[in-house]
Amino acid sequence: MIATDRERRVALVTGGSRGIGLDIALRLAGEGFAVTVAARKEAGVAAAVARIEEQTGAPAFGVAADMADETALGTLATAHADRFGRLDVLVLAAGLGAEEPVGAIRTTAYDLQMNVNLRAPVLLVRELLPLLRTTATAHPEHGSRVVALSSITGVAAEAGLSVYGATKAALLSFCETLSLEESGNGVNATAVAPGYVDTDMTAHLHGRLERESMLGVTDVTEMVLGLTRLSARAVVPSIVISRAGSQLWRA
Ligand SMILES: NC(=O)c1ccc[n+]([C@@H]2O[C@H](COP(=O)([O-])OP(=O)(O)OC[C@H]3O[C@@H](n4cnc5c(N)ncnc54)[C@H](OP(=O)(O)O)[C@@H]3O)[C@@H](O)[C@H]2O)c1
């Protein structure tokens, strides 16, 4: 642990190598947070760490961890705690989706989405809860926060995304329970549920959907930054971000 880190608020961002997670990590670092970035691929993690340090000057630490691997989740939690000894904001952005109708769901795709989108966030929160609690006790004004990237698909069903939507609906419920159990200890949780965001994840939609009609990563990031500025007394169970147009409840 380095001495200067004691002065800074600290974040851990899963899925921090690309897309929404990278933008959140960059902006948190820009606000002065020290940041741990986690993703599956070592090269992506290293590139994100270098970019964060170069653009913001904030300390950044990278851990390559497959969210589907329980041992890797434990290693990530320990590595973060050893490096920074503090956790003000845990952003759970690692995720993936497979588009297939219910009649054609592949068991392997089901297992992967469940493991990465739901099991990993739950196990990681369990492992990091002691650190979130001690951080909230030491810094009672803001407390500590968990922000999970859900999806509007977890609120309103989308054909072809049954399993993905089920994992995201579960995250909404999980965040509510976490706030019920832990907000008295200064630990709050929020599920952020956007419609389609223009990232690698939605690149396959470019023929079907105008990129300009999608949300930008900054639309999500601004909400996350806002959450980090709230007092520990403010519980925000969920934030839905819909896209402009004549249908409110669609991805
Ligand atoms: N884009 C959208 O339209 C949209 C809308 C609503 C919600 N969301 C949610 O927002 C989150 C971020 O989405 P995004 O659009 O930014 O996705 P993205 O651009 O595809 O980035 C996904 C991130 O998750 C990481 N990741 C994927 N599988 C992983 C695994 N097994 N272990 C560790 N890390 C893994 C990736 O790292 P590697 O490159 O190392 O695999 C990458 O950093 C996801 O949870 C997604 O479900 C997205």
Residue nearest to atom 38 of ligand 1 (CA): 40
Average pLDDT of span 37-65? 98
Alpha helices (H) in the chain, listed in sequence order: 19-30, 42-56, 70-84, 107-113, 120-138, 162-182, 217-229
Going from the Cα of 149 to the center of ligand 1, the distance in angstroms, rounded, reads 9
Q: Verify whether ligand 1 is closer than 6 Å to residue 66 (CB atom).
A: yes
**By percentage, how much of the chain surpasses pLDDT 70?**
98
How deeply is 123 buried, as exposed, middle or buried, from its count of CB atoms within 10 A (0-12, 13-18, 19+)? middle
Task: Please indicate, yes or no, if residue 48 is contained in any of the structural domains.
Answer: yes
Average pLDDT of span 42-55? 98
Side by side, which strands form the sheet with 34-39? 60-64, 34-39, 10-14, 89-92, 144-149, 187-194, 238-241
**pLDDT confidence of residue 83:** 98
pLDDT tens per residue, range 61-115: 999 999 999 999 999 999 999 999 999 999 999 999 999 999 999 999 999 999 9
Given a cut of 70, whether residue 2 has pLDDT beyond it is no
Given a cut of 50, whether residue 21 has pLDDT beyond it is yes
> What total number of domains does the chain contain?
1
Q: Verify whether ligand 1 is closer than 6 Å to residue 201 (CB atom).
A: yes
Average pLDDT of the chain is 97
Average pLDDT of span 145-155? 98
Joined together, the tokens standing for residue 22 give 């990278």
Ligand 1 pocket: which of 91, 96, 122, 168 to mutate (most atoms <8 Å of CB)?
96
**Phi then psi dihedrals of residue 211, to 5 deg:** -60, -35
**pLDDT confidence of residue 6:** 63
Given a cut of 70, whether residue 5 has pLDDT beyond it is no
**pLDDT confidence of residue 143:** 98
* Nearest-5° Cα angle at 104, 103 to 109: 130
Structural domain that includes position 180: 3-241
Given a cut of 90, whether residue 250 has pLDDT beyond it is yes
pLDDT category at 7 given cuts 50, 70, 90 is confident
Rg of the Cα atoms in the chain: 17
Task: Please indicate, yes or no, if residue 249 is contained in any of the structural domains.
Answer: no
Q: Verify whether ligand 1 is closer than 6 Å to residue 18 (CB atom).
A: yes
Q: Are 86 and 5 in contact (CB under 8 A)?
A: yes
Task: Please indicate, yes or no, if residue 206 is contained in any of the structural domains.
Answer: yes
Going from the Cα of 20 to the center of ligand 1, the distance in angstroms, rounded, reads 7
pLDDT category at 4 given cuts 50, 70, 90 is very low
Task: Please indicate, yes or no, if residue 136 is contained in any of the structural domains.
Answer: yes
The CATH number linked to 142 is 3.40.50.720
Q: Verify whether ligand 1 is closer than 6 Å to residue 44 (CB atom).
A: yes
How deeply is 86 buried, as exposed, middle or buried, from its count of CB atoms within 10 A (0-12, 13-18, 19+)? buried
**pLDDT confidence of residue 31:** 98
Strand partners, 11: 35, 89
Q: Helices 162-182 and 120-138: crossing angle, nearest 10°?
A: 30
Task: Please indicate, yes or no, if residue 8 is contained in any of the structural domains.
Answer: yes
Looking at the CA of residue 21, tell me the nearest atom of ligand 1: 16
Q: Verify whether ligand 1 is closer than 6 Å to residue 84 (CB atom).
A: no
* Nearest-5° Cα angle at 155, 150 to 156: 130
Going from the Cα of 97 to the center of ligand 1, the distance in angstroms, rounded, reads 9
Between CA 102 and CA 92 the distance in angstroms is 26
Task: Please indicate, yes or no, if residue 55 is contained in any of the structural domains.
Answer: yes
Joined together, the tokens standing for residue 171 give 């995250």
Ligand 1 pocket: which of 199, 210, 218 to mutate (most atoms <8 Å of CB)?
199
Task: Please indicate, yes or no, if residue 250 is contained in any of the structural domains.
Answer: no
Between CA 243 and CA 109 the distance in angstroms is 27
Q: Verify whether ligand 1 is closer than 6 Å to residue 41 (CB atom).
A: yes
Looking at the CA of residue 40, tell me the nearest atom of ligand 1: 40
Q: Verify whether ligand 1 is closer than 6 Å to residue 149 (CB atom).
A: yes
Joined together, the tokens standing for residue 187 give 């630990």
Of 183, 215, 188, the residue nearest 199 (C-alpha):
215
Task: Please indicate, yes or no, if residue 31 is contained in any of the structural domains.
Answer: yes
Going from the Cα of 4 to the center of ligand 1, the distance in angstroms, rounded, reads 31
Of 6, 65, 15, 4, the residue nearest 221 (C-alpha):
15
**pLDDT confidence of residue 152:** 98
Alpha helices (H) in 115-208, listed in sequence order: 120-138, 162-182
